[in-house]
Amino acid sequence: MNLTLKIWRQENPQAKGRFEKYDVKDISSDASFLEMLDILNEQLIHEGGDPVAFDHDCREGICGACSLYINGRPHGPDTGITVCQMHMRNFRDGSTITIEPWRAKAFPVIKDLMVDRFAFDKIIQAGGYISVNAGSAPDANVIPIPKENAETAMDAAACIGCGACVAACKNASAMLFVSARVSQFAVLPQGKIEAAKRAKSMVAAMDEMGFGNCTNTYACEAECPKNISVSHIARMNREFFIAKVTDSAKK
């Protein structure tokens, strides 16, 4: 395959970015998208140029680091996968591929295609955990949890924090990410002790980091590589409302 790549280049957070075009030739249709970028970088280094900076880690669809905006879609034209899981057979020979970083105020560009997603870490630090002393791990089935609740918690915990939901949202909202983190604890007995504090703290951190509001367009769900449901947003809103009402009742 011969392809033309239109890639966003930006030296640092303060620099003015621009698109640059590159031609890559003889790319195997079985190569992954990141392997194709590796080939481009080898070509640039051989020519004495600056390789394109992009994030990657596991290359198995687990870590969420390979966050790229490809031809107008987070993680590219396929659904339910990350960039590292996408292969070049998804593109036609001779086509032009536009590659950009996430576009969000809360995700400033570090260099080229790399963005700083520390905002997600701050949200997790605000309450995405269980801090109470629950003792040692109990034996299996000691705490009876309905199968439906267990599956809901596992589905929410599947979120890899890649930020595709933010990139897909016209308001750069992080509601799907935050709600998945809230929801994975909200339906389990271990998470109910700090439920009110968790909902309020994580929503406050989300607002503080500059993410936008949710307008229920469902773009986040459509582009999520792990198919996280927007039903978690409804649960988070309910948890937040209950926490606020409870606070008001105590006054």
Predicted local distance difference test score (pLDDT) of residue 131: 86
Give the pLDDT mean for 19-45: 97
> Where, residue-wise, is CATH 3.10.20.30 in the chain?
3-110
Give the pLDDT mean for 59-66: 95
Q: Which amino acid is residue 7, in one-letter code?
A: I
Predicted local distance difference test score (pLDDT) of residue 185: 93
- 18-32, 93-107, 161-175, 188-202, range with the lowest pLDDT: 188-202
- Backbone CA torsion sign across 180, 183, 185, 188: negative
Alpha-carbon distance values, 148 to 174, 187, 212, 237 (Å): 25, 9, 31, 20
For 41-84, list the strands marked E by DSSP: 69-70, 73-74
Give the pLDDT mean for 39-59: 97
Predicted local distance difference test score (pLDDT) of residue 251: 63
Predicted local distance difference test score (pLDDT) of residue 134: 65
Predicted local distance difference test score (pLDDT) of residue 136: 76
CATH number assigned to the domain covering 3-110: 3.10.20.30
Look at residue 248 and tell me whether its pLDDT is greater than 80: no
Predicted local distance difference test score (pLDDT) of residue 145: 87
Predicted local distance difference test score (pLDDT) of residue 141: 72
Q: How many Å apart are CA 193 and CA 130, to the nearest integer?
A: 9
For residue 77 the two structure tokens come to 């034209």
Alpha-carbon distance values, 176 to 58, 182, 199 (Å): 23, 10, 13
If one counts every other C-beta atom within 10 angstroms of the C-beta of residue 11, the result is 13
**Closest by alpha carbon to 61, among 36, 34, 40, 25?**
34
Give the pLDDT mean for 69-77: 96
pLDDT band at 38; cut points 50, 70, 90: very high
3: CB partners within 8 A, 6+ apart = 23, 24, 25, 27, 36, 88, 91, 93, 94, 95, 96, 97
CATH top-level class of 118-250: mainly alpha
Alpha-carbon distance values, 40 to 96, 129, 211, 246 (Å): 14, 40, 33, 56
What is the maximum alpha-carbon separation in the chain? 69
